Chains A and B, each alone.
Chain A
Amino acid sequence: DTAVSQTPKYLVTQMGNDKSIKCEQNLGHDTMYWYKQDSKKFLKIMFSYNNKELIINETVPNRFSPKSPDKAHLNLHINSLELGDSAVYFCASSHLAGGPADTQYFGPGTRLTVL
């Protein structure tokens, strides 16, 4: 059974398009996250939701909009895609209310390429 799953795995699109990435976790966790990993493997948090409520919102362009329809799902919508958005996007989830000691489980990643 996949714990944290993301779709699609690969996404190739043109500049200016709008795209969405979906994430689902079946671990019963309350908190979900979106991370961006650049070409140098640097992993940076973008957003975090706890029970459908936004709790972390890093300095991210407002072209990026997360949506959590329920605590098992967290989607990421990106408007007007730019070349610099090319990266691997990881979804993660954790059990408690995102406490600092809480293990975060990562999905397999979505590799976004903007042409």
Chain B
Amino acid sequence: QKEVEQDPGPLSVPEGAIVSLNCTYSNSAFQYFMWYRQYSRKGPELLMYTYSSGNKEDGRFTAQVDKSSKYISLFIRDSQPSDSATYLCAMSAQGNTGKLIFGQGTTLQVKP
């Protein structure tokens, strides 16, 4: 079993839809949770970062962490065609010298 599980999709939604992307994990030592966005044939770029449990909002994006359930989510409101990309969740434990454990990534397509 992988440490981080993420449904690879693909996920196809109409423009303006609310998108929910999720990851589950097994390692209770994870404290830092990130979402990276990767456009086709590009490197991943950090989208959202959350420490421990709770919510964080940035524009149309909201990241949620539920450590009790070992479950994290990324919500995209009013999705746009420019949001079409692969979204990778990533996690790290305290004192872990930058070692990120990634989910498999969910490919999202937003249709105009």
Contacts and interface: CB of A to CB of B under 8 A. Distances in A.
Interface of A: 4, 31, 33, 40-45, 48, 50, 55-56, 90, 92, 94, 97-109
A109 B93 CA distance: 26
A109 B43 contact: yes
B94 A100 contact: yes
Nearest to A107: B43
Nearest to A56: B99
Contact of A99 (B44, B86, B98, B104): B98
Contacts of A44: 102
B75 interface: no
Contact of A56 (B8, B98, B102): B98
6 contacts: A42-B105, A100-B93, A101-B49, A104-B100, A107-B43, A109-B43
Contacts of B32: 100-101
A41 B104 contact: yes
Interface string B89-110: 0001111111110101101000
Contacts of A48: 97-99
B45 interface: yes
Contact of A94 (B51, B98, B105): B98
A88 to B, nearest CB: 9
Contact of B98 (A43, A102, A107, A109): A102
Of the candidates B44, B51, B107, the one having the most CB atoms from chain A within 10 angstroms of its own CB is B44
B18 interface: no
Nearest to B51: A101
B60 interface: no
Interface in B24-55: 31-32, 38, 41-46, 49, 51
B21 interface: no
Contacts of B41: 108-109
A80 B47 CA distance: 37
A102 B96 CA distance: 11
